[in-house]
Amino acid sequence: MVKRWFYILFIIGAILSSQALADETNFSASVDKKAVALDDTVAYTVGISGSGANSALQPNLSAFDNLQMIGSFQSSNISIINGQTSVQKSFTYTLRPKNVGPASIGAASITINGKTLQSDPIQISVTKAEGKPQKLQARQANPFGNMFDGFFNDPLPKFNRSQNIEDPIKITNTVNRTTAYVNQLVLMTFTFYRRVNLYSQPGLGLPKTTGFWSINLSDSNDQPKQVTLDGKQYLAQEFKTALFPTLPGTFTLDSATLTYQLDPFTNPQTLKTKPITITILPLPESGKPASFSGSVGSYQITAGAKTREVEQGQPIALLVKVSGQGNIKTISEPQANLGQDFKKLLATSTEQISHNQFGVFGNKTFEIVLIPLISGQETIPGFRFSYFDPNKKEYRTIISQPIEFTVTPAKHPLPKEYTADINQADNLVKITIPWRRIAKKILTILFSIYTLVIIFIGLWVWGVKTYRQKLLSDPIKLRTSRAKKVAAKRLKKSYRLIKESKLKKFIGEIFASVTSYLGDKYNFSSLGVTADQLKEILSHKGISSQAQTKLDNFISECDLLRFTPASLTADKARELANIAEELIVLIEKG
């Protein structure tokens, strides 16, 4: 008994401690050098990490003194440990000095969940020009690591306007497919071609990937290569990004940009690629297994127990691992028929995600804790996992090997909840309500105060009429006052959709119940509002950090269910509806 409770408390403590760590948000700013030559550049990086980084927008920058911004780029890194997602974002700005002397960068700031974070100002010294092209080094915060080192330092001719070199710089942005299924990998490749050395560090801007979950696949070991383009020799470097579509439809990747400067006598120039249109197909309904939850790719499954022998009533941990190529994050828990001989206590998961220039691969391991209710030789049938193979355009179900272990008889009587035969009738309590006595008391009270009731009704009617007239004269106040009532009706409709098993419609309705409520409450149009726009609007409304965090989790959960609607069950829908209801109550309390 003591051992079992110690095990449970240990797991709960680990979850709570990891959550506490995830709630921290760090904000900082740095430069790659404190002293810079007049003909050199400075990389100024603003970094955000922790639970708030995922919702962070562009930071607010103070004025640059004696510095000019000539380029910028944004990068992000996502890691998942024990089911907790950690996000790191960095915004890097390339600055060029204007004059010899002191220079400074003011404090940067950002608002996350209603809390404003601020960095320290930075002082820089600008020295005389060195009179030679600067050796272009990779910036530490560059999402492509130190890939630029070899690329820019290879021997190429210095740019000379008298030579009239045709097309010294070119860029392209391509994808490996323009038609894909939801959650199928789309590989985006940005290629930078050059024929001359550059005067300063270029600014790279990759397109926004709205509608996709993205992973940077660039590796610092990737080497530039000599290529022939339009009959001319170039040194080329590729930067690859894995894109996983989250919704069906037609999406456009905006232009990628590159800002560069060839010599100190010309202004920086910007190149743009053509936008790319991608058609995302919904996964087919025909042949979809009941156990399918949205995974697309190619996978394998293994399963086993941590021990071969366990005492009846004591926990045993099963390890089920799904590995392969695809979006590892969307892998859901494999299922097995546990029967009546086991009580499932809890399940946790850990993810290991890797990538190279060809795609994303890794594994997700589920630790499932069971309580055996009977003794003897037990066999748990294989765990099942279903996924869609986009190459073969068909669904596949893989099954792990069965798990066998021995359950020895319990040394002490098991708690009632850990026995296989539980008489539910024992938990029933018979309640007798004295209706006649209650009715008599109610009638006595009513007849003694009926005159007061009539007066009260008259005052109530007059008050309601006056209140409505005031509301009609103030549309904003009228909208705000009805926000909770309208939300309650939408929540009621959401619960009805659950009963009718219309779970796909439920996702949109429960999301609209919260966003429409917020729009009515704070007087903004919720129609078509995105998650980032919603966070930006509410950051100035004084919502508590607890409500903001709960709202962020709610939005993320709705987005994930839109992404993998097959994973939505009636129980999960009811849980989401309860969260929406609690969220509205929390905001109403202020």
**pLDDT digit string (tens) for 15-72?**
444 444 334 678 889 998 889 888 778 888 888 887 666 566 678 888 889 998 766 6
List 29's β-bridge partners, or say none: 46
Predicted confidence band at 424 (pLDDT cuts at 50, 70, 90)?
A: very low
CATH code, domain with 183? 2.60.40
- Angle of the 503-522 helix axis to the 531-538 helix axis, nearest 10: 30
Query: What is the Cα Rg of the chain in Å?
Result: 31
> Count of domains in the chain?
4
Q: Is 96 helix (H, G, I), strand (E, B) or coil?
A: strand
Q: Can you spell out the DSSP letters for 135-168? A: PP---TT-TTTTHHHHHHHS--PBP-GGG--SS-
Q: What is the pLDDT of residue 58?
A: 73
CATH code, domain with 105? 2.60.40.740
> Is 327 among the domain residues?
yes
Q: What's the whole-number mean pLDDT along residues 534-541?
A: 72
Q: Are residues 302 and 388 in the same domain?
A: yes
DSSP letter at 183 equals T
What is the distance between the alpha carbons of residues 518 and 555, in angstroms, rounded to a whole number? 13
CB-based burial, 150-174: b 16+ in 10 Å, e otherwise: bbbeeeeeebeeeeeeeebbbbbbe
Q: What is the pLDDT of residue 389?
A: 96
Over the stretch 60-96, which tens digit does the pLDDT of each residue have?
Answer: 888 889 998 766 666 655 544 444 445 677 778 878 8
Q: Are residues 245 and 205 in the same domain?
A: yes
Q: What's the whole-number mean pLDDT along residues 139-165?
A: 45
Predicted confidence band at 563 (pLDDT cuts at 50, 70, 90)?
A: low
Q: Which two tokens stand for residue 73?
A: 């780029």
* For residue 561, pLDDT beyond 90: no
Q: Are residues 166 and 272 in the same domain?
A: yes
Mean of pLDDT over the chain: 78
Q: Please report which helix (H) or strand (E) contains residue 237, including its range.
A: strand 232-245
Could you give the strand order of the β-sheet that contains 316-326, starting from the edge strand earlier in sequence? 297-305, 316-326, 359-372, 342-356
Range of the domain at 319: 297-423
Q: What's the whole-number mean pLDDT along residues 370-388?
A: 93
Distances (CA, A) of 269 to 71, 198, 246: 10, 12, 35
What is the distance between the alpha carbons of residues 43 and 96, in angstroms, rounded to a whole number? 9
> Is 260 among the domain residues?
yes
Nearest in space to 43 (alpha carbons), one of 184, 119, 137 = 137
Q: Are residues 476 and 546 in the same domain?
A: yes
Distances (CA, A) of 343 to 53, 103, 314, 403, 412: 38, 67, 11, 16, 18
Q: Are residues 204 and 269 in the same domain?
A: yes
Nearest in space to 52 (alpha carbons), one of 26, 15, 82 = 26
Q: Are residues 318 and 394 in the same domain?
A: yes
The 3-class secondary structure across 299-353, one letter per residue, is: EEEEEEECCCEEECCCCEEEEEEEEEEECHHHCCCCECCCCCCEEEEEEEEEEEE
**Lowest mean pLDDT segment, chosen from 155-159, 453-457, 508-512, 575-579:** 155-159
End of a domain among 258, 282, 306? 282
- Which stretches of 222-284 are DSSP H helices? none
* For residue 4, pLDDT beyond 80: no
* For residue 153, pLDDT beyond 50: no
Q: Over pLDDT 70: what percentage of the chain?
A: 72
What is the distance between the alpha carbons of residues 181 and 81, in angstroms, rounded to a whole number? 28
Q: Are residues 167 and 275 in the same domain?
A: yes
Q: What's the whole-number mean pLDDT along residues 428-447?
A: 56
Predicted confidence band at 451 (pLDDT cuts at 50, 70, 90)?
A: low
> Is 8 among the domain residues?
no
Q: What's the whole-number mean pLDDT along residues 472-484?
A: 64
What is the distance between the alpha carbons of residues 319 and 227, in angstroms, rounded to a whole number? 48
List 312's β-bridge partners, or say none: none
Q: Which two tokens stand for residue 312?
A: 């009846």
166 or 422: which leads in pLDDT: 166
Q: Are residues 302 and 395 in the same domain?
A: yes
* For residue 139, pLDDT beyond 80: no
Distances (CA, A) of 539 to 23, 110, 531, 536: 17, 11, 12, 5
* For residue 133, pLDDT beyond 50: no
Q: What is the pLDDT of residue 393?
A: 94
Q: Are residues 80 and 146 in the same domain?
A: no
Contact 314, 4 (CB under 8 A): yes
Cα angle: 237, vertex 239, 245; to 5 degrees: 155
> Is 453 among the domain residues?
no
204 or 430: which leads in pLDDT: 204
> Is 155 among the domain residues?
yes
DSSP letter at 83 equals T
Q: What is the pLDDT of residue 428?
A: 38
- Angle of the 545-563 helix axis to the 531-538 helix axis, nearest 10: 170
What is the distance between the alpha carbons of residues 36 and 264, in angstroms, rounded to a whole number? 15
Q: What is the pLDDT of residue 77?
A: 57
Q: What is the pLDDT of residue 584?
A: 86
Contact 298, 325 (CB under 8 A): yes
Q: Is the dihedral of CA 240, 244, 247, 250 positive or negative?
A: positive
Q: What is the pLDDT of residue 439?
A: 67
Q: What is the pLDDT of residue 505?
A: 85
Q: Which two tokens stand for residue 334?
A: 């494999």
Q: Are residues 146 and 271 in the same domain?
A: yes
Q: Over pLDDT 90: what percentage of the chain?
A: 25
Q: What is the pLDDT of residue 278?
A: 96
Q: What is the pLDDT of residue 159?
A: 41
> Is 7 among the domain residues?
no
Contact 52, 21 (CB under 8 A): no
Q: Are residues 275 and 153 in the same domain?
A: yes
> Is 71 among the domain residues?
yes
Q: Are residues 150 and 247 in the same domain?
A: yes
Q: Which two tokens stand for residue 433?
A: 């309500």
Q: What's the whole-number mean pLDDT along residues 426-446?
A: 54
* For residue 443, pLDDT beyond 50: yes
List 409's β-bridge partners, or say none: none
Over the stretch 287-327, which tens digit does the pLDDT of each residue have?
Answer: 999 889 889 999 999 999 999 999 998 899 999 999 999 99
* For residue 150, pLDDT beyond 50: no
End of a domain among 132, 160, 194? 132
End of a domain among 107, 132, 157? 132
Q: What is the pLDDT of residue 441?
A: 63
> Is 11 among the domain residues?
no
Predicted confidence band at 138 (pLDDT cuts at 50, 70, 90)?
A: very low
* For residue 537, pLDDT beyond 80: no
Predicted confidence band at 377 (pLDDT cuts at 50, 70, 90)?
A: very high
Q: Can you spell out the DSSP letters for 501-558? A: T-HHHHHHHHHHHHHHHHHHHHT---TT--HHHHHHHHTTTT--HHHHHHHHHHHHHH
